[in-house]
Structure 1
């Protein structure tokens, strides 16, 4: 495990290293973690780790005071699933302190020691005595999450699939259409199993776009959470193509769809265990479950059209997502329906500047291609495989699966467009 030096004024290069290291880590299960630190240089990255989405199920608390404080604390308190201890003590003193701590620890409690001695003999002795891991300071946030994940995530379990959430900055921008076509492209281009989950239970269009009318779908799972497992979920999937399956929305209004914040969490977790790629078609609403779904997704794609309201909404989304996902890459941006005749549009450069996000694709206004595909329940690639729009969809699929990168674009002067977005005070 690489120990990346931590600096309280974290440079952008270090932040980029942290983000890159975090991408390969799997979510930590519901465990309790308590850390006892002697220095701010160790306490800070542990606290930051606790705020990461991969630790969202875990409960982490940081105490200052080190090993002596931990011994005193657990004389009257139960021990958690994991104790993280920072110690600047010499090896003999550290081992003696750990033996004293073991008198108050439950047998199932794991212990990770962060020390300041790079001593192989000490490491071997600590592992021999039952310590789960010994890490030499300085450490990074990624180191902490990596250590916890290595202890509590079963290495024999199948890898969790990658979740990609698509959401429109405004209704009618084509986010669902893009999501469905990108999912279809992924399954065809890379011979990979893909599951599409339509989370718009009232007005979802995935069943129309894929020409499906399944008797069951995602609503059955949402309203019967006690039944959700991989076998049950498999029964709800509609087969759209050889390697593409759909959790369809009922698209009916015979009931209201008010959900708790974690309503879709178990469905998503289960779906990720059944396929390497999960595409989430998220409706343009802002609720607790929408925010929670976006916060936990591995990748987020925002679809916009080049208009002022879209820019405002996209800016709000990007800012919010950066705040709740500080250790992840920014959301991806797709500009759709560009070049509508006689419609005043914001230039791509001016649109991208305030967001700080380079569009990974600009899709032109092609009503004939999109209309024919929609009316026939077919994907764009099935209607006209040689169309430039299909090439853009394929490029998006390559970027989202890590097979290529977004090409850099030159930044242009933005002017005072942001001023138009500021709401007047009442």
Structure 2
């Protein structure tokens, strides 16, 4: 039994606000005027993409969340929201009975960390129900209210009461998920980096090569600070492919075999090796002295720290189906499946897509790369047939190029680094554009800007010379 009356602590919205529920995206204004230069338009598009990418949800910590519904639509929305990957770490329960059912339960049971209640009735009736609920709940409980009253003054009164959010019914799952995530967003404000997981649909698809070249292209072509994370502890090849000799113990195993409380930014920073000015590497030790059974809490903490460490982390995930691989895929912002144009590749890609789309119902489908196409004298499934089988076309098609691959591997270089004119280089650049959101080459753009500045300086000097001569006279 809880004693005393609880008033939840909430934040009052700015005066003049007309928004009654959490918005899934923020509106970004566009520049006006038809005389904008093309370069500016491209730069603006790139910044808009970055801003939209930044408006993301963080993974909610392991808390208890309970939702109480009054009608079947709200029940369906709660259940769909609670299956979101952003709530993967949390314990969730859905109950019938709405706010009155919740009030009855918490007379004798401790209230959850996050409580979502549906409350019907007019404004006065809802406020009376909220007062009774407050009498039986802990002060630590974060409250979200779902109701049918669409009125800004009522919204403000519910927020003033201490609720974290008020959502207008009928509510959609994504709105509920975002409302929960926003409660914990401030504590995760540093964790803004994106995680891109790359996994092969079968063994030998070249997933590691795709991951390595993607990371290099994002860093060098788009000048985006990138961290390549090799999670194949036993057989990872990132350090070898980048020709980096690691000291013993300076690798990802030091983190993955640790307890969660030891993993922090200082540890990860110490384990990272520079591969170039913009690219860093968290390599694998390639040791078989123990099996790769990682603690769930350690993997969760590692992913959180990666978000805080780098704007973009490309994770090379081994071809396996373990609890921690599932965990990484569930929490990644983008998944790239690498496959090859044969029957096993098609079957496995379809299976992965089915599982991942069920796991990430509120997300866009994964991307996939169709690798090693056009192999001489080999019968393969065409791109059109493969697309029809999976249900979506490949994000990128990478042609078979054994000569360039072999030369790059022997030299410890990336394909895009060694041969900028190869067809395969264009494929990696296209993939990098889709992953990073960058729409133009920054080095090229900067060179054009410097050339323009040089021309302008020369033009100004032409006007200055007569004046200087006149002054001397």
TM-score tier after normalising by the smaller chain length: 0.7 to 0.9
Q: Deviations over 1:88-126 (max 9, x none)?
A: 111111111211221111112121111111122222222
Closer, same or farther: CA 254–28 of 1 in aligned 2, 3 Å: closer
- Residue 281 (structure 1) aligned with residue 313 (structure 2): no
- Residue 113 (structure 1) aligned with residue 145 (structure 2): yes
Closer, same or farther: CA 156–56 of 1 in aligned 2, 3 Å: closer
- 2:337 corresponds in structure 1 to 302
- Residue 360 (structure 1) aligned with residue 395 (structure 2): yes
1:341 pairs, out of 376, 397, 402, with: 376
State TM-score, norm by structure 1: 0.87
Quick check: 1:300–1:331 contact (8 Å CA) kept in 2?
yes
Tell me how far apart the structure 2 counterparts of residues 322 and 282 of structure 1 sit (CA, whole Å).
18
SS of the equivalent of 1:63 reads strand
- 2:404 corresponds in structure 1 to 369
- 1:12 corresponds in structure 2 to none
What is the Cα deviation at residue 356 of structure 1? Answer: 0.8
Tell me how far apart the structure 1 counterparts of residues 426 and 129 of structure 2 sit (CA, whole Å).
63
Structure 1 segment 295-334 matched on structure 2, within 5 A: 295-334=330-369
- 2:58 corresponds in structure 1 to 26
Closer, same or farther: CA 33–22 of 1 in aligned 2, 3 Å: farther
Closer, same or farther: CA 219–289 of 1 in aligned 2, 3 Å: same
State TM-score, norm by structure 2: 0.78
Tell me how far apart the structure 1 counterparts of residues 225 and 68 of structure 2 sit (CA, whole Å).
44
1:224 pairs, out of 238, 258, 280, with: 258
Tell me how far apart the structure 2 counterparts of residues 125 and 319 of structure 1 sit (CA, whole Å).
44
What is the Cα deviation at residue 25 of structure 1? Answer: 2.1
- 2:116 corresponds in structure 1 to 84
Q: Deviations over 1:230-264 (max 9, x none)?
A: 11110000111111111100112233333345553
2:418 pairs, out of 362, 383, 388, with: 383
1:184 pairs, out of 216, 221, 244, with: 216
Tell me how far apart the structure 1 counterparts of residues 361 and 426 of structure 2 sit (CA, whole Å).
32
- 1:249 corresponds in structure 2 to 284
What is the Cα deviation at residue 341 of structure 1? Answer: 1.3
Tell me how far apart the structure 2 counterparts of residues 224 and 172 of structure 1 sit (CA, whole Å).
30
Report which of the two structures shows the higher radius of gyration computed on alpha carbons: 2
2:167 pairs, out of 108, 123, 135, with: 135
Tell me how far apart the structure 2 counterparts of residues 21 and 116 of structure 1 sit (CA, whole Å).
31
Tell me how far apart the structure 2 counterparts of residues 261 and 357 of structure 1 sit (CA, whole Å).
32
- 2:432 corresponds in structure 1 to 397
What is the Cα deviation at residue 300 of structure 1? Answer: 1.0
- 2:155 corresponds in structure 1 to 123
- 2:135 corresponds in structure 1 to 103
Tell me how far apart the structure 2 counterparts of residues 21 and 239 of structure 1 sit (CA, whole Å).
26
Quick check: 2:222–2:438 contact (8 Å CA) kept in 1?
no
What is the Cα deviation at residue 156 of structure 1? Answer: 7.6
Structure 1 segment 10-49 matched on structure 2, within 5 A: 24-49=56-81
How much is the aligned-residue C-alpha RMSD, in angstroms?
A: 2.1
Tell me how far apart the structure 1 counterparts of residues 201 and 168 of structure 2 sit (CA, whole Å).
45
SS of the equivalent of 2:327 reads helix
Count of matched residue positions in the alignment of Structure 1 and Structure 2: 390
Quick check: 2:199–2:318 contact (8 Å CA) kept in 1?
yes
Tell me how far apart the structure 1 counterparts of residues 334 and 190 of structure 2 sit (CA, whole Å).
20
- Residue 72 (structure 1) aligned with residue 107 (structure 2): no
Quick check: 2:230–2:282 contact (8 Å CA) kept in 1?
yes
Tell me how far apart the structure 1 counterparts of residues 243 and 151 of structure 2 sit (CA, whole Å).
63
Quick check: 2:263–2:298 contact (8 Å CA) kept in 1?
no
Quick check: 1:45–1:140 contact (8 Å CA) kept in 2?
yes
Tell me how far apart the structure 2 counterparts of residues 337 and 67 of structure 1 sit (CA, whole Å).
57
- Residue 236 (structure 1) aligned with residue 262 (structure 2): no
Q: Deviations over 1:178-223 (max 9, x none)?
A: 1000001111222221111111111111011111121211011111
SS of the equivalent of 1:24 reads coil
Tell me how far apart the structure 1 counterparts of residues 279 and 327 of structure 2 sit (CA, whole Å).
25
SS of the equivalent of 1:333 reads strand
Greater per-residue helix proportion: 2
- 1:57 corresponds in structure 2 to 89
Tell me how far apart the structure 2 counterparts of residues 155 and 201 of structure 1 sit (CA, whole Å).
31
Quick check: 2:257–2:295 contact (8 Å CA) kept in 1?
no
Q: Which runs of no fewer than 5 residues in structure 1 stay unpaired? A: 5-19, 405-426
Closer, same or farther: CA 214–21 of 1 in aligned 2, 3 Å: closer
1:171 pairs, out of 199, 203, 212, with: 203
What is the Cα deviation at residue 76 of structure 1? Answer: 0.5
